[in-house]
């Protein structure tokens, strides 16, 4: 598999490793980006891979709650100046409220129903605007709430068991925004993901200058897996507002609350494109909406 200089740059952005070492990793893995990341981690050169890559878009993440329905939404524009403006934020919140109040399931349905208001916003702000993505949580016997961080750069939607106080849900949402868990509990982590992590950690230990005996390495790996759980599992994480106890203990001590689901959006994540390509993507979406 061939690779380009842009692939080398992307690997550097995702791992923080030098350009030459990134190039060597891609050569060694026949240009496979994910294998190159694992290769660098095994050599102890990269601690982790950044999932999102470089974010090339602007916009805002917002939310809306309507009774037992919660919505998290990302809307994109072309410049940071517009993204921070009151008019754009108001437009995004209007769309989020529409989604919460109506039975819509796709971005296309939302865009079609809001063509007029979107065209008006584009005209007033002088930039192309695109409704990029949204998700809903509907609960019949629980509680749902949201948290928006850094002026719309990060948004979190949380569903908790019935009886959870607004303060507890807010604290959990803040935790998710700050600590970026992937799963709620250890039981949710796929076994193949754990086995892959163990292989990488074992390779790291064996590649150290003075590797320890295999029995000690196995114990080290188990200890590092426990640390891995604290990174990716919400309940295992230390509470960001008080590191003396975990989120699991915090929930037990405050009504034995259960977290059923969470969604975390980071504005622009997954858009690994140049600015000119992103502008074209927005234009394509607007054109499709106006057909």
The CATH code of the domain that includes 34 is 1.10.8.10
Q: In the structure, what pLDDT confidence band is assigned to residue 7 with cuts at 50, 70 and 90?
A: confident
Q: What is the pLDDT of residue 51?
A: 39
What CATH number has the domain bearing residue 109?
3.30.479.20
More confident position, 19 or 91: 91
pLDDT (average), residues 267-284: 57
Count up the domains in the chain and report the number: 2
* Predicted pLDDT at 280: 55
Whether residue 279 is contained in a domain is answered as yes
Give the model's pLDDT for residue 137.
97
- pLDDT over 50 at 53, yes or no: no
- Assign 54 a pLDDT band (cuts: 50, 70, 90): very low
Q: Are residues 41 and 112 in the same domain?
A: no
**Residue 19 · residue 8 · CB < 8 Å:** yes
Distance CA 242, CA 244 (A): 5
E-only strand ranges, 139-284? 142-149, 154-161, 238-239, 242-246, 259-266
Residue 193 located in a structural domain: no
Give the separation between CA 130 and CA 109, rounded to whole angstroms. 13
215 or 65, which is more confident: 65
Report pLDDT for 291.
Answer: 55
Model-level pTM? Answer: 0.72
Q: Is residue 233 assigned to a domain? A: no
pLDDT in tens, 170-219: 999 999 999 999 999 999 999 999 999 889 888 888 888 788 888 888 88
- Calculate the average pLDDT of the chain: 87
Inform me whether the pLDDT recorded for 22 exceeds 80: yes
Claim to verify: residue 116 and residue 153 sit in the same structural domain: yes
Residue 35 located in a structural domain: yes
Strand partners, 156: 147, 264
| Pair (116, 177) in one structural domain | yes
Q: Are both 102 and 9 inside the same structural domain?
A: no
Backbone angles phi, psi at 205, to 5 degrees: -65, -40
Q: For residue range 136-173, what is the model confidence (pLDDT) as tens digits? A: 999 999 999 999 999 999 999 999 999 999 999 999 99
Residue percentage of the chain with pLDDT more than 70: 88
75/111 Cα distance (integer angstroms) = 11
pLDDT digits (tens, 9 = 90+) for 251-269: 999 999 999 999 999 998 8
Q: How far is CA 162 from CA 68, 71, 252, 263, 289, in A?
A: 11, 19, 14, 18, 39
Q: Do residues 101 and 140 both lie within one domain?
A: yes
Which phi and psi (to 5°) does residue 246 adopt? -85, 170
pLDDT recorded at residue 276? 44
Say what the pLDDT of residue 212 is.
85
Q: Is 277 a residue whose pLDDT tops 70? A: no
- pLDDT class for 275, splitting at 50, 70, 90? very low
Domain range holding 270?
A: 58-183+260-290
34 in the same domain as 164: no
Look at residue 55 in the predicted model and tell me its pLDDT.
36
User: pLDDT band at residue 76, thresholds of 50, 70 and 90?
Assistant: very high
Dihedral pair phi/psi, residue 238, rounded to 5°: -70, 135
The answer to whether residues 46 and 98 belong to one domain is: no
- For the cut 50, the answer to whether the pLDDT of residue 273 exceeds it is no
């Amino acid at each position: 598999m061939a690779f380009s200089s842009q692939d080398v740059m992307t690997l550097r952005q995702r791992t923080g490793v030098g350009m030459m070492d990134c190039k060597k990793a891609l050569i060694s893995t026949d240009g496979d980006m994910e294998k190159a990341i694992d290769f660098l981690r095994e050599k102890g050169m990269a601690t982790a891979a950044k999932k999102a890559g470089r974010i090339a878009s602007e916009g805002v993440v917002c939310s809306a709650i309507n009774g037992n329905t919660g919505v998290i939404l990302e809307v994109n524009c072309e410049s940071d100046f517009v993204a921070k403006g009151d008019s754009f934020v108001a437009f995004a919140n209007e769309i989020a409220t529409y989604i919460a109040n109506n039975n819509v399931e796709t971005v296309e349905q939302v865009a079609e129903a809001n063509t007029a208001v979107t065209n008006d916003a584009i005209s007033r702000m002088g930039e192309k605007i695109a409704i990029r993505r949204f998700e809903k949580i509907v609960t019949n016997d629980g509680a749902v709430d949201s948290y928006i961080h850094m002026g719309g750069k990060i948004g979190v939607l949380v569903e908790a068991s019935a009886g959870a106080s607004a303060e507890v849900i807010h604290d959990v949402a803040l935790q998710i925004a700050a600590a970026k868990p992937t799963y709620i509990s250890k039981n949710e982590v796929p076994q193949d993901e754990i086995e892959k992590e163990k292989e990488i950690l074992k390779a790291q230990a064996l590649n150290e200058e003075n590797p320890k005996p295999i029995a000690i390495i196995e114990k080290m790996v188990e200890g590092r897996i426990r640390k891995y759980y604290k990174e990716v599992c919400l309940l295992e994480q230390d509470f960001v507002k008080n590191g003396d106890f975990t989120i699991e203990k915090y929930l037990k001590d405050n009504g034995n609350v259960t977290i059923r689901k969470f969604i975390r959006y980071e504005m622009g994540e997954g858009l690994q494109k140049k600015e000119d390509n992103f502008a074209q993507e927005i234009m394509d979406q607007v054109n499709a909406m106006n057909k």
